[in-house]
């Protein structure tokens, strides 16, 4: 690269070098949104590993857990469709993101007051509605802030910080429980993490200016055949991917004590956090499809493992491998959605993608819960593995290989 010398002898890069350097760094907005997700999951995942056993203590079983998690995920998905449209229609990505985080973090502490499983269902309904409101505009904000060659890495960094919060949440819950603090008090404590999340979002995250058509965005799916094929593959895969709460239920059956459930959740999210950036960056270099196929193949192996597991040590190993599956797939899948559609379709495309995942989770969790309760863990987990294996045959190719940053 040709450089210009100041009279003093100081080396100064050409303007295009600064532009190149700017394009090879993950933007500050991405980091700030990652911290927001970290704080949100610090509270949310202090709750998640405790819910299956908590549902059991107030009279619920696997079917009740399936209803709670299935309805919750379906709610998030339906809301994603509306929020994705509003993101493209208004361009107010930060406002929608703030509303979603605000709803979830207001309702979550109310779990400390419940006395029946249906009350958990109501609160989880509202919590997941908040997730649906924030998901598409937040992901569109990440895409708008990031140069195309870095999108996989940016989504990976965001997911990594998100999972770091999901590690710290169970760690905090475990420390509180080990000191004699009640499960209900842990639920109430999540209000602190939620308040910090909203403060950081309000102060540190800035909207990105978008070039939008004066015409209101059209309803429906983007015209890309590859995008629609991807949605079909995701739907099939998700039908075999029920709520992770069932993994905790299986862990309890295999001898993992309730006091160790937060630690098990920590292991899962530590691996997710460590592998997410690598999975996103890998998809930038080798293509989205290669990373996703590797993750889905690992998922099949993990579910077969849960079907055949017979000892607590196997549960720990399987949870760690399950974390690698997430690292290999979450960021590449979101980046592939952005790759397959035009810019003015991003909000709707991301919202539809998340909606398909959540809507498929409703029958997935309900069916898995019924199979689990009536035919046993082996049948339920093997059925999930079979559907995931079939989804790999439908997954479309990456549209192109992006240049390395």
> DSSP character for 8?
T
pLDDT given for residue 8 in this prediction: 35
Type and span of the H or E element at 95: helix 93-107
Lookup: tokens for 287? 């293509």
pLDDT given for residue 19 in this prediction: 40
Residue 395 in this model has a pLDDT that exceeds 60: yes
Q: Average pLDDT for residues 64-90, to the nearest whole number?
A: 75
Q: How many of the other CB atoms lie within 10 Å of CB of 111?
A: 22
pLDDT given for residue 90 in this prediction: 78
Q: What is the pLDDT of residues 350-392, one digit of tens each?
A: 778 877 887 787 788 888 888 887 888 888 899 889 998 898 8
Determine what percent of the chain is predicted with pLDDT higher than 90. Answer: 9
Q: If we measure between CA atoms, which residue out of 196, 81, 201, 181 comes closest to residue 141? A: 201
Contact 34, 161 (CB under 8 A): yes
Determine the Cα–Cα distance for residues 385 and 236; give it in Å rounded to an integer.
Answer: 11
Going 189 to 191 to 195 to 196, the CA torsion angle's sign is positive
More confident residue, 190 or 286: 190
Q: At what angle do helices 261-286 and 312-340 cross, to 10 degrees?
A: 40
More confident residue, 188 or 73: 188
More confident residue, 348 or 301: 301
Query: Residue 74 to residues 125, 218, 220, 247, 298: CA-CA distances in angstroms?
Result: 9, 23, 19, 19, 25
Under the banding of pLDDT at 50, 70 and 90, the label for residue 101 is very high
Residue 84 in this model has a pLDDT that exceeds 50: yes
pLDDT given for residue 209 in this prediction: 62
Q: If we measure between CA atoms, which residue out of 324, 207, 311, 328 comes closest to residue 271? A: 324
Query: Residue 386 to residues 229, 236, 264, 300, 301: CA-CA distances in angstroms?
Result: 19, 10, 26, 7, 10
Query: Residue 196 to residues 62, 68, 104, 191, 304: CA-CA distances in angstroms?
Result: 34, 27, 13, 9, 40
Residue 211 in this model has a pLDDT that exceeds 70: no
pLDDT given for residue 401 in this prediction: 46
Residue 247 in this model has a pLDDT that exceeds 70: yes
Q: Average pLDDT for residues 188-213, to the nearest whole number?
A: 81
Determine the Cα–Cα distance for residues 37 and 161; give it in Å rounded to an integer.
Answer: 7
Under the banding of pLDDT at 50, 70 and 90, the label for residue 72 is confident
Determine the Cα–Cα distance for residues 41 and 170; give it in Å rounded to an integer.
Answer: 10
Residue 12 in this model has a pLDDT that exceeds 50: no
pLDDT given for residue 400 in this prediction: 52
Q: Average pLDDT for residues 16-38, to the nearest whole number?
A: 68
Instruction: Report the mean per-residue pLDDT for the chain.
Output: 78
Residue 198 in this model has a pLDDT that exceeds 50: yes
Residue 180 in this model has a pLDDT that exceeds 70: yes
Domains in the chain: ranges and CATH: 27-208+223-391 (1.20.1250.20)
Contact 270, 381 (CB under 8 A): no
Contact 340, 230 (CB under 8 A): yes
Query: Residue 107 to residues 74, 100, 102, 162, 290: CA-CA distances in angstroms?
Result: 18, 11, 9, 20, 39
Lookup: tokens for 71? 């309805």
Query: Residue 256 to residues 58, 251, 360: CA-CA distances in angstroms?
Result: 20, 5, 29
End-to-end CA gap in the chain: 17
Query: Residue 17 to residues 24, 154, 174: CA-CA distances in angstroms?
Result: 11, 21, 49
Lookup: tokens for 17? 């070098």
pLDDT given for residue 17 in this prediction: 36
Residue 256 CA, distance from chain mean position: 25
Considering the entire predicted model, what is its pTM?
Answer: 0.64
pLDDT given for residue 223 in this prediction: 57
More confident residue, 286 or 31: 31
Q: What is the pLDDT of residues 293-304, one digit of tens each?
A: 888 889 999 999
Lookup: tokens for 138? 């937040």
Under the banding of pLDDT at 50, 70 and 90, the label for residue 199 is very high
Residue 111 in this model has a pLDDT that exceeds 80: yes
Query: Residue 54 to residues 33, 49, 187, 223, 261: CA-CA distances in angstroms?
Result: 31, 9, 11, 45, 12
Lookup: tokens for 70? 């299935």
């Amino acid at each position: 690269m040709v450089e210009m010398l100041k009279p003093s002898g100081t080396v100064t890069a050409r303007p295009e070098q600064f532009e190149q350097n700017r394009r090879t760094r993950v933007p500050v907005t991405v980091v700030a949104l990652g911290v927001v997700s970290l704080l949100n999951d610090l509270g949310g995942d202090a709750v998640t590993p405790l819910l299956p056993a908590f549902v059991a203590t107030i009279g619920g079983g696997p079917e009740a857990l399936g209803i709670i998690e299935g309805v919750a995920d379906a709610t998030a998905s339906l809301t994603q469709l509306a929020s994705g449209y509003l993101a493209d229609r208004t361009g107010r990505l930060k406002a929608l993101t703030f509303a979603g985080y605000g709803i979830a973090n207001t309702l979550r502490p109310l779990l400390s007051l419940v006395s029946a499983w249906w009350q958990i269902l109501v609160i989880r309904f509202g919590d997941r509605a908040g997730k649906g409101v924030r998901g598409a505009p937040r992901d569109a904000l990440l895409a708008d802030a990031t140069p195309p060659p870095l999108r996989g890495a940016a989504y990976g960094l965001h997911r990594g910080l998100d999972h770091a919060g999901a590690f710290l949440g169970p760690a905090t819950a475990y420390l509180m429980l080990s000191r004699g603090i009640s499960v209900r008090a842990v639920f109430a404590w999540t209000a602190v993490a939620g308040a910090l999340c909203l403060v950081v979002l309000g102060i540190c995250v800035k909207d990105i200016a978008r070039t939008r058509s004066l015409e209101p965005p059209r309803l429906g799916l983007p015209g890309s055949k590859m995008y629609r094929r991807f949605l079909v593959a995701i739907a099939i895969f998700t039908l075999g991917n029920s709520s992770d709460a069932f993994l905790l239920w299986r862990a309890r059956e295999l001898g993992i004590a309730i006091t160790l459930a937060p630690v098990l959740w920590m292991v899962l999210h530590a691996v997710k956090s460590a592998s997410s950036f690598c999975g996103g960056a890998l998809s930038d270099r080798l293509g989205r499809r290669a990373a996703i196929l590797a993750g889905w193949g690992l998922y099949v192996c993990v579910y077969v493992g849960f079907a055949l597991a017979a000892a607590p040590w196997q549960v720990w190993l399987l949870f760690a491998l399950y974390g690698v599956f997430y690292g290999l797939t979450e960021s590449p899948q979101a980046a592939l959605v952005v790759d397959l559609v035009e810019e003015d379709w991003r909000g709707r495309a991301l919202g539809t993608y998340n909606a398909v995942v959540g809507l498929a989770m409703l029958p997935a969790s309900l069916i898995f819960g019924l199979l689990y309760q009536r035919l046993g863990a082996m049948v339920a987990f093997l059925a999930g593995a079979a559907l995931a294996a079939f989804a790999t045959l439908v997954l479309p190719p990456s549209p192109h290989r992006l240049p390395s940053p």
